[in-house]
Amino acid sequence: MTDRIWKLAHGRDIALGSRAVIMGVVNVTPDSFSDGGRHLDPARAVDHAKRMIGEGASIIDLGGESTRPGGDAVGAEEEQRRVLPVIARLAAETDVLISVDTYRSETARRAIDAGAHIVNDVWGLQRDPQIAGLAAARGAGLVIMHNGRDRFRLDDQIDDQAAFLGRSLEIADAAGVPRERIVLDPGFGFAKDVDDNLALIARFAELHRFGLPLLAGVSRKRFLGHVTGRTEAAERDVATAAANVALRLRGADIFRVHDVAIHRDALAVADAIVAAGIAARNRACT
């Protein structure tokens, strides 16, 4: 397997392909569905991020506004008040790659100035298209997520992915964002029911049609609770790991998770299986 190099802000990059990359989630919010309120204090958020780094996270994804259904909207000023001090400290005290989970171009700009390398936009550049121009100008990595909320959706999951993400890539292209800076996220849980999410895992390999690295964000999502009967989000880490192993075997590159330690081991096994499959195919061809 040939690695692809994801180019990021501040001259950084990361190889994607032969090894699963773990992105640790730190929600600096009072109301996120899994860990809301636990890391609202910047010092606690930094400590939690450092723990994740020690457990194997290569990227820390920081969000200042909950994206759960029914979550309280906040303004840009409050969002920035929550995340910027954490970004600044992590940039000063660690070498970790930092992602900011925002759909606002002004928050993204200030986050990059504070040391962030990646902008993770859950609206796929379609809420605030200026994010694309900002990413191009600052050389930031860009995660473009599929979102099914508040719009007409095609019946077929992959067709809808192609339509939405195709439009997002048109916006990125028009702004001059090189493809080497883009990762796609199919947006598990965003206006998708249990069957939709399970079908998306089963058909995940079809998303390679875009020719871009893929991020999977299934961590502790409600559909996993439906499958397992686990009503509490924090009880869904084993289910998350199982889903992410399946996604790794279908070609996902980056895994956005709340429990890093369990995924370090689970994805190491998945990586070994992928490598063994490649080796077997190579032997068969010689």
Q: Is residue 221 annotated as a catalytic residue, yes or no? A: yes
CA 103 and chain centroid, separation: 13
| Residue 144: burial class (beta carbons within 10 Å; 0-12, 13-18, 19+) | buried
Determine which one of 256, 264, 281, 283 is catalytic: 256
* Number of other CB atoms surrounding residue 166 within 10 Å: 10
- The structure tokens 């606690």 sit at 44
Q: Is residue 50 annotated as a catalytic residue, yes or no? A: no
Determine which one of 192, 221, 236, 248 is catalytic: 221
- What pairing do the DSSP bridges indicate for beta strands 4-7 and 13-16? antiparallel
Strands of the sheet with 97-101, listed across from one edge: 182-185, 141-145, 118-121, 97-101, 59-63, 21-27, 254-257, 215-216
B/e letters for 103-133, b = 16+ CB within 10 Å, e = fewer, are: bbbbbbbbbbebbbbbbbbbbbbbebbebbb
What residues are labeled active site? 221, 256
